[in-house]
């Protein structure tokens, strides 16, 4: 199966997973580099470029010397706004930015609940309130 065949037809994910060798499965979890998955040409699985996304879509490079990106408010700041329209607009803007950098997957949003004030990554989550978190996450994802 080549990539042209898989694009036009429904793909049976379970069958593809069964056809992957153990080495191919591991390679998909490890990636080709920091931002790209490993292609599996014999099964028509292309390389996929991903990008960090909660606060801006980076294009390539390391964490400190990569492609410049817009800086959006962190999720906890968006949570403090209680504004689902802003979450939608932010998702749409991040989707456009990810596309402009050639990324097909945005590693965002973080849909989680703050369970402890000691968590060092709470800024990536919207709130400790499940209703607010779900309201903002749904809007953000619809925007994406």
Radius of gyration of the chain (CA): 18
Identify the residue whose tokens are 């989550």.
125
Phi and psi, residue 79, nearest 5°:
-60, -40
Distance of CA 24 to the CA centre of its chain: 22
Determine the average pLDDT of the residues in 75-81: 94
For residue range 6-56, list pLDDT tens digits in order: 444 678 889 999 999 999 999 999 999 988 999 999 999 999 999 887 788
Q: Is 121 exposed, middle or buried (0-12, 13-18, 19+ CB in 10 A)?
A: exposed
Delimit the domains of the chain by residue range: 1-46, 49-144
Looking at residue 36, the DSSP 8-state letter turns out to be: B
């Amino acid at each position: 199966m080549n990539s042209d065949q898989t694009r036009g037809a429904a793909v049976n994910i379970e069958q593809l997973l069964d056809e992957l060798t153990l080495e191919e499965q591991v390679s998909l979890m490890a990636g080709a580099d920091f931002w790209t998955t490993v292609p599996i040409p014999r099964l028509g699985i292309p390389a996929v470029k991903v990008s960090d996304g909660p606060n801006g879509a980076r294009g390539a490079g390391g964490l400190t010397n990569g492609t410049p990106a817009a800086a959006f408010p962190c999720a906890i700041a968006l949570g403090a706004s209680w504004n689902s329209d802003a979450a939608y607009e932010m998702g749409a803007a991040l989707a456009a930015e990810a596309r402009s950098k050639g990324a097909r997957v945005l590693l965002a949003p973080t849909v989680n609940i703050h369970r402890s004030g000691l968590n060092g990554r709470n800024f990536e989550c919207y709130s400790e309130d499940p209703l607010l978190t779900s309201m903002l996450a749904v809007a953000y994802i619809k925007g994406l």
